[in-house]
Structure 1
Amino acid sequence: MTSLLQRVKSNMAIFAHRKARGMLDGEYCSVFRGRSLDFDDLRAYVPGDEVRDIDWKASARHGSPLVKRYMAVRRQTVILVTDTGRNMAAAAYSGETKKDIAVMALGVMGYLAHRHGDMAGLVCGDSGGTTSLPAKGGEAHLERLLRQVDSTATLDAAPSRIEDQLHHVARNVRGRNLLFVVADEVAANPAFGQLLRRLRAQHEVLWLTVRDAGLAPGEPLLQPEQALPDSYSVSGSHPLLAHLARDPAVAAAYATAVAERDAGRKAMLRQAGITEGEVDGTGGVMTALFALLERHRRAG
């Protein structure tokens, strides 16, 4: 059986030829900021910050409240959170299954944690239940986490509902950790937004969205003159008739619906103070994660 972690490490090695591995490591380290003797920098105060972290002298000079940030020196915990419902067994925009992209992204983040001496745990599941594997170190443990995701995200799984896994984290995960969430293109709603704000108040949260396949199966890989195969929705099991995909009115309505859903999700995450990235294939995972970590640092 091929090691999933070995695939992850091979992908990272290829990426390292194009971007310095140290840059990616640096972005990973910048996520963890905790109380220690190692002062890092100052940033603008935002609601929810500890009042005791305000640097009053610097704030007086600046004219608005500034808080101190510290580089954490203790071992950190990364909680990998992902959807293993049947939505993740569907096709992504690249034509690969979303599960394969999720495994690659979770593997890269988990391996970064391993290289830095941090521990990684997993919370995954669907609307039928949630599985939690405790945080530990080591490559064998990380392989087990990836196997759990790979083996459970199938077309026979229950429908996806990432909110259930996030509720599990909110109820059961103590301390301040890094939550790395890999999910489908979720729809926003007020209760979901409230849950995200609750999680962000306790944890650092990074969110990676796996992009859906286009309206036409295989899009954009197929040429306009090629025949389209019929497909079906894994969430509702209803057919998606191929000939409708080329109807301009259908395509326009679909594009509008996708844009509205994306805008709602982005606004919900932004209001919760959560940095989001997007990825549409395994080949783009490294670049997407690098950009996500960098945006999170800048938003700091």
Structure 2
Amino acid sequence: MGTLLTAVKSKMYIFAHRKARGMLDGEYASIFRGRSLDFDDLRDYVPGDEVRDIDWKATARTGTPLIKRYLATRRQQVLFVADTGRNMAATARGGEVKKDIAVMAMGVIGSLAIRHGDSVALVHGDGGASVALPAKGTENHLEQLLRCMDGASLTRGPSELCARLEYVAAHYKQRMLLVVVADEVAADPRLAKVLRRLRAQHEILWIQVDDAALAGPGSVHGVGMDVAGMDPVLMLLAEDPELARSYAEAVADRARALAQMLQASGIAMAGIGTTDEVMAKIFALLERHRRAH
């Protein structure tokens, strides 16, 4: 097993004791409906589980509600759609490099998928070029996907998430879970159009790696965030408080527009700014998706 996935698993183990890991598994499993009648094992009941799945005899023996888990009728596929353009080499809200947060988020969801017998695939790229890696259900393959995400750097081309989503819409027809891992993007007609196409065919989760503040409280100017020639803007914002306030308002308006677009499309989103937030934010993301569907 490679070092990236080892780091992810260490973070998962530290965060989640046995019951919490069971809850995270339960939230992931709720995404896919339909199952066989092949019994797999028992786990602790967590809020949101189907009451019909409680094994009452086992519950009576142990005094703790237990849920029967079943083997899926077929393996499900998780497709990560990731921006690996130069924006992912920028600095996130908590001061880390964005790609490091993306690797952790992909690793957590990928580990859940493989533990459930599902397969993971990846579409990534920069500019207009998309690269697709096939679906496999092994940890070695997940490590390969994480290394692709980890390779995002300043030497890459510009970030263009819509191009990745359009590639998926054109080439993937089988229903699957799409996990979008992206920089902050603007809600525009092009994005709205491709999301309508994808939402009609797939389940979608959206993970946004939050930007560092460019001005005002929480600003991390000077720690290497500039990947798109923003230094002149940073200087202006630092010198003019009124301009900085206007800029912050524009950023907030863009974030609200994206959140509204995703909500209207029935897509749950999590904004993550540090690797320490990943586990809790993904749990909340899966829970919101389950409740919305």
TM-score by length of 1: 0.81
Once the two structures are TM-superposed, the CA of residue 245 in structure 1 deviates from its matched residue by 2.6
1:188 equivalent in structure 2: 187
CA separation of 1:293/1:263 partners in 2, compared to 1, >3 Å: closer, same or farther?
same
Deviation track 1:21-42 (CA, whole Å, cap 9, x = no partner) reads 000000000111248689x98x
Alignment of 1:261 onto 2:254:
yes
Deviation (angstroms), 1:247 = 3.5
Residue 57 of structure 2 corresponds to which residue in structure 1? none
The number of aligned residues is: 263
Displacement of 1:235: 2.6
Structure 2 counterpart of 1:220, one-letter code? G
- In the alignment, which residue of structure 2 is the partner of 1:96? 96
Measured against aligned partners, the alpha-carbon deviations of 1:73-116 in whole angstroms (never above 9, x if no partner) come to 32100001110000010000111011000010011111100111
Q: What does residue 279 of structure 1 align with?
A: 272
What is the match of residue 174 of structure 2?
175
Q: Quick one: which amino acid aligns to residue 139 of structure 1?
A: E
Letter in structure 2 aligned against 1:294: E
How far the C-alpha of 1:221 sits from its partner, in A, is 7.4
Q: Which runs of 5+ in 2 are unaligned?
A: 39-48, 51-70
Using the TM superposition, name which of 29-38 and 208-217 deviates more.
29-38
What amino acid is the match of 1:114?
Answer: I
If the length of structure 2 is used for normalisation, what is the TM-score?
A: 0.83
Give the unaligned 5+ runs of structure 1: 42-70, 223-227
What is the rounded CA distance, in whole Å, between the counterparts of 1:278 and 1:232 in structure 2?
18
Distance 1:230 1:76 in 2: 41
SS of 1:174's equivalent in the other structure is coil
In structure 2, the residue matched to 1:214 is 213
- 1:87 paired with 2:80, answer no
Q: Measure, in 2, the Cα distance between the counterparts of 1:221 and 1:118.
A: 40
The residue type paired with residue 211 of structure 2 is: D
1:129 equivalent in alignment to 2:122: no
Identity of aligned residues (%): 57
Kindly provide the amino acid, as one letter, of the partner of residue 187 in structure 2: A
Q: Does structure 2 retain, via aligned residues, the 8 Å contact 1:231–1:242?
A: no
* CA RMSD, Structure 1 to Structure 2 (Å): 2.5
Any idea what SS the aligned residue of 1:122 has?
strand
Q: Deviations over 1:37-83 (max 9, x none)?
A: 89x98xxxxxxxxxxxxxxxxxxxxxxxxxxxxx9632100001110
Residue 241 of structure 1, CA deviation: 3.8
1:249 and 2:249 correspond: no
Distance in structure 2 (CA, Å) of the matches to 1:254 and 1:133: 38
Are 2:186 and 2:258, in contact at CA under 8 Å, matched by a contact in 1?
Answer: yes
